[in-house]
Chain A
Amino acid sequence: MPEKKPSPPVEREKRTRQRKSGGISSSSKTVRQATDGKSFAKRRRPSMRAGLAVMGGRAAGAISRRLHLGGGTSIAGVVAQRLYPDIVNHLSSQLAYGSVLVTGTNGKTTTSGFIAAILSDAGLRVWRNREGSNLMRGIAGALVIRARAGGNLRRSGQAISIFEVDEAVVPHIIKAVPLRVAVFTNLFRDQLDRYGEVDSVSARWQQAVNALPKNTTLVLNADDPAVASLGETYQGNVVYFGIDDASLDLVTQGISPERHQTIDTRTCAKCGNELTYTLRFYSHLGHYHCPHCGSTRPQAEVRATSITLNAFDQLRITIATPTQQGEIVIPLPGFYNIYNALAAIAATQALQINWEPIVSGIQQFKPAFGRGERVQVAGRTIRILMAKNPTGFNEVLRTLFSDGEKRRVLLILNDNIADGRDVSWIWDVDFERMAQQTASLTATGTRALDLGLRLKYAGIEPQAMSIIPLAPLRADNSKDAPAARMLEYKAGDAMSNGRLNGTQAAKPGVKVAQKHGLANALDHALQETPVGETLFVIPTYTGLLDIHRELERRGLTPHYWEEKGP
């Protein structure tokens, strides 16, 4: 939904000039000045409407929470926007320390998590849209729940807000929210049925960036040609981040880049010819140049110069920035988190944050919801690593299956609207990597059968996996239904009631009636995981919500909207 009235550029300039350029010590409040009668009238009406919108939104949120429909943040945003379409602009321009936008296909949540941790370690009050969705209504909701009935923010807006934004919504946010920093992490194919093709997203981003006021700092991934090209024509400050460690190159590591990767940007943004890579880290991220028009990867200012893997979820990276050099340990699994950390470092340095909070913010980071978080269940550990598109999935598989250790895995493939209705993309994921590498493998979700089929064609033997669909096929009358054939454990044991007693209750060879549903799939996967071992859960986006709800139902994790901020 497009915002109807972006604030006039003159106003915006005034506001931002009052901040000391980029300094965090400045706390001057926005001063609204009416230039003529007409705009004065326009200004006065909103605050009444804004108050109404805030009250309406919060009431709707409270009702939704009361009825257990969810966190109630999105609905608060929807109602508030309905009552006053400019509510996001109205509230966000009151923020004393401004706003940071984080967008991109992968890494949004972790990057904004890093930034939030760093900023709160630096002593700032940080507001995020973590409770709600990353669409416009989620942003609106996050502001509304922090506003007073009078249409002003609480605590006189003495906070900095970090907005994690869906890649398709970026143009609307840029119009509505005065931004200090805009971070673009990367651009991969994702939900082609919803976003359209990669090129159309990058065209929309380019337009959005052109509309940015010049005092916004752009933080861009130098290694992603589709993202780096956004900075070429931008008049304001641009900070690039990237990796300068040649030992991470796929070819150096003996991985054929074409076989194991889906490459989403092949051509030069300027002239449309094929790019040449000297280093390729994954997908189309690397050191590239265009042999035709000569455009090259921009030199990164915030760089990772060397990277060592301490443990499966401990990456030690050496960082070099124009002002600082040092080591940081990223406590998360996955190579892609290097980019997330670099993006956060670049963004917070643009906000003039010191080095100490940067180090502590990243090193003591607790992984968010589905990004490597850890849950203890009856002596077993569950680690949840969301994967929602081919590149993200490939990187998760690379993280889990590169050291030759056999893993226990539960895959959840959903095709709800938020996941994208099309599951064709699973055929671009390199599941072949998992063959003979799993100690146990369970597939579930609304498209469990498609996933099972993909795994079958990846060379995984039928007896090495269990397929547990969410519901039986109605047309299937035979007793010998799929789940029954593949599931060999006793029905109705303690597991299915959510109470694990730690002992192996499985009686192999006992064929049972069909098992369906996520709860059974989780039980099955846990049952195949011995005490002390780790079960890796790889869900799509709504699969993550489902598994969280299930864990929540068993009292293992708090409601996601009740989680305390960092």
Chain B
Amino acid sequence: MNDTSKPLFTLTLGHLYPAQLNLYGDRGNILTLQRRCQMRGIALRVVGLGIGDALAPDEYDLLFIGGGQDKEQAPVAQDIFEMKGIGLWAAVEDDMPVLAVCGGYQLLAHYYRPAIGPDMRGLGIFDAWTIHKGTHMPRCIGDIAISWNGSTLVGFENHGGRTYLGTAKPLGKVLKGHGNNAEDHSEGAIYRNAYGTYLHGSLLPKNPHFADHLLALALRRSYELSDEDLTKIFPRYLSFQERPAQAKREKKRAARKNGASSEINGVIPVRSDLDDTLEWEAHAYMLERLGLRHAAGAALRQR
């Protein structure tokens, strides 16, 4: 690790409601982002945003929100709407990468309708809604694997609510498991660079490509890095890209801030060669026990 040199990039991660929404080991996502940045000589600052704190979009480069218990989720739902709604909206519209897991995912959709009691209003960032169909409906619990941009994501899901997508694009297609609602094989939702998902496990440690994808999006947005530069930091960056909209925006930005990225070009610090053997083996292990041997083989070839 080149700790001695001053980091070339500094990123700030806003961790929403670390005290209230922390039920299912989602802290692993933060640890993963932190460590992967540290290994690459990128400074990642994590700022906790609790109840009552306002969210100023300019201060952050990426956002994370986890899941919690119903009792703790109610005050959070109110706070996210009143205190952070506008900031979050602005951040998402400005292409800030956001990862929302489980309860956080539900809060970023239109509403959550519990089995008993009034609807919980969400932010409507994802055109999606969640309905809890009552205690007689079994919870969606178990290991899950989904396809994502020609690759796979693995995790563990545990949710009672069923999420239905409107115009929101799903994060991926369910290969094994339940996903959003156990009906339409969709899992998660995407809007711009905001990702909602039910995958715990934690999600990012076993899916290093997805962790890097989020970091790449943050670097691209905050430092206006070109795809070429990003590939130097994240060698597989391009293999998980699919959206032409991104490229268009990239061009627009490049036109606006001409030449900014070429300055950085060449001085990228990089420890791009992170040893992700263990990550991919854990990933492949999950695929294998779900009976997805082909995908497991593909995952092992990633290491």
Residues of A within 8 A of B (CB): 189, 192-193, 197-199, 258, 262-263, 266-267, 272, 390, 421-428, 449-450, 452-454, 456-459, 462, 467, 469, 473-476, 478, 482
> 0/1 per residue, B270-289, Cβ < 8 Å to A?
00000101110110110110
Q: How far is the CB of A460 from chain B (nearest CB, A)?
A: 11
Tell me whether B297 is interfacial, beta carbon within 8 Å: yes
Taking CB atoms, residues of chain A closer than 8 Å to B24 are 192, 422, 424-425
Q: Is the CB of A453 within 8 A of B158?
A: no
Taking CB atoms, residues of chain A closer than 8 Å to B22 are 262, 428
Given contacts A449-B282, A482-B281, are A427 and B288 in contact (CB under 8 A)? no
Q: How far is the CA of A424 from the CA of B144 in the complex (A)?
A: 13
Tell me whether B27 is interfacial, beta carbon within 8 Å: yes
Q: How far is the CB of A470 from chain B (nearest CB, A)?
A: 10
Q: Is the CB of B71 within 8 A of A476?
A: no
User: How big is the B interface, by class?
Assistant: 35 or more
Q: How far is the CA of A199 from the CA of B281 in the complex (A)?
A: 35
Tell me whether B168 is interfacial, beta carbon within 8 Å: no
Taking CB atoms, residues of chain B closer than 8 Å to A272 are 71, 75
Counting chain B CB atoms within 10 Å of each CB, the highest count among A390, A456, A469 belongs to A456
Q: Is the CB of A427 within 8 A of B205?
A: yes
Q: How far is the CB of A457 from chain B (nearest CB, A)?
A: 5
Within 8 A of A (CB), among B237-296: 275, 277-279, 281-282, 284-285, 287-288, 293, 296
Taking CB atoms, residues of chain B closer than 8 Å to A198 are 69
Q: Is the CB of B278 within 8 A of A467?
A: yes
Q: How many A-B residue pairs have CB under 8 A?
A: 113
Q: How far is the CB of A540 from chain B (nearest CB, A)?
A: 14
Taking CB atoms, residues of chain B closer than 8 Å to A197 are 23, 69-70
Q: How far is the CA of A1 from the CA of B205 in the complex (A)?
A: 38
B282's partner among A189, A453, A458 (CB-CB below 8 A) is A453
7 shortest interchain CB distances as A-B pairs: A427-B28, A424-B25, A427-B25, A449-B282, A475-B296, A475-B297, A197-B69
Q: Is the CB of B205 within 8 A of A473?
A: no
Tell me whether B8 is interfacial, beta carbon within 8 Å: no
Tell me whether B142 is interfacial, beta carbon within 8 Å: yes
Taking CB atoms, residues of chain A closer than 8 Å to B158 are 192-193, 422
Residues of B within 8 A of A (CB): 19-20, 22-28, 31-32, 35, 69-72, 75, 141-143, 156, 158, 200-202, 205-206, 275, 277-279, 281-282, 284-285, 287-288, 293, 296-297, 299-300
Q: Which residue of B lies closest to A425 (CB)?
A: B25
Q: How far is the CB of A284 from chain B (nearest CB, A)?
A: 12
B201's partner among A193, A267, A424 (CB-CB below 8 A) is A424
Given contacts A199-B71, A427-B27, are A422 and B281 in contact (CB under 8 A)? no
Q: How far is the CA of A426 from the CA of B25 in the complex (A)?
A: 7
Q: How far is the CB of B297 from chain A (nearest CB, A)?
A: 4
Q: Is the CB of A428 within 8 A of B281?
A: no
Q: Is the CB of A475 within 8 A of B300?
A: yes
Q: How far is the CB of B56 from chain A (nearest CB, A)?
A: 23
Q: Which residue of A lies closest to B31 (CB)?
A: A457
Q: How far is the CB of B156 from chain A (nearest CB, A)?
A: 5
B300's partner among A266, A267, A458, A473 (CB-CB below 8 A) is A473
Q: How far is the CB of A340 from chain B (nearest CB, A)?
A: 26
Taking CB atoms, residues of chain B closer than 8 Å to A462 are 275, 278
Q: List 18 A-B contacts (CB under 8 A).
A: A189-B23, A192-B158, A193-B156, A198-B69, A199-B69, A272-B71, A422-B156, A424-B156, A428-B27, A449-B281, A449-B282, A453-B278, A456-B278, A457-B32, A473-B284, A473-B285, A475-B284, A482-B277
Q: Is the CB of A427 within 8 A of B202?
A: yes
Q: How far is the CB of A226 from chain B (nearest CB, A)?
A: 11
Q: Which residue of B lies closest to A452 (CB)?
A: B278
Q: Which residue of B lies closest to A272 (CB)?
A: B71
Taking CB atoms, residues of chain A closer than 8 Å to B296 are 473-475
Taking CB atoms, residues of chain B closer than 8 Å to A456 are 278
Taking CB atoms, residues of chain B closer than 8 Å to A421 are 141-143, 156
Q: Which residue of B lies closest to A467 (CB)?
A: B278
Taking CB atoms, residues of chain B closer than 8 Å to A424 are 24-26, 28, 156, 200-202
Given contacts A452-B278, A476-B300, are A457 and B25 in contact (CB under 8 A)? no
Q: How far is the CA of A267 from the CA of B30 in the complex (A)?
A: 24
Q: How far is the CA of A473 from the CA of B72 in the complex (A)?
A: 40
Q: How far is the CB of B132 from chain A (nearest CB, A)?
A: 13
Q: How far is the CB of A459 from chain B (nearest CB, A)?
A: 8
Q: How far is the CB of B212 from chain A (nearest CB, A)?
A: 15
Taking CB atoms, residues of chain B closer than 8 Å to A452 are 278, 282
Q: How far is the CA of A491 from the CA of B189 in the complex (A)?
A: 49
Q: Which residue of B lies closest to A480 (CB)?
A: B277
Q: Is the CB of A267 within 8 A of B72?
A: yes
Q: How far is the CA of A189 from the CA of B143 in the complex (A)?
A: 19
Q: Is the CB of B70 within 8 A of A199?
A: yes
B200's partner among A262, A422, A457 (CB-CB below 8 A) is A422
Q: Which residue of B lies closest to A390 (CB)?
A: B25
Q: How far is the CA of A390 from the CA of B201 in the complex (A)?
A: 14
B288's partner among A390, A428, A474 (CB-CB below 8 A) is A474
Q: How far is the CA of A476 from the CA of B278 in the complex (A)?
A: 13
Q: How far is the CB of A290 from chain B (nearest CB, A)?
A: 14
Q: How far is the CB of A429 from chain B (nearest CB, A)?
A: 9
Known: A449-B278, A475-B297. 19 other contacts (CB 8 A): A197-B70, A198-B69, A199-B69, A262-B22, A267-B72, A422-B158, A424-B26, A424-B28, A424-B202, A426-B25, A427-B205, A428-B27, A449-B281, A452-B282, A453-B279, A462-B278, A469-B285, A473-B300, A474-B293
A266's partner among B72, B143, B275 (CB-CB below 8 A) is B72
Q: How far is the CA of A524 from the CA of B200 in the complex (A)?
A: 32
Q: Which residue of B lies closest to A476 (CB)?
A: B300
Q: How far is the CA of A478 from the CA of B25 in the complex (A)?
A: 32
Q: How far is the CA of A198 from the CA of B20 in the complex (A)?
A: 13
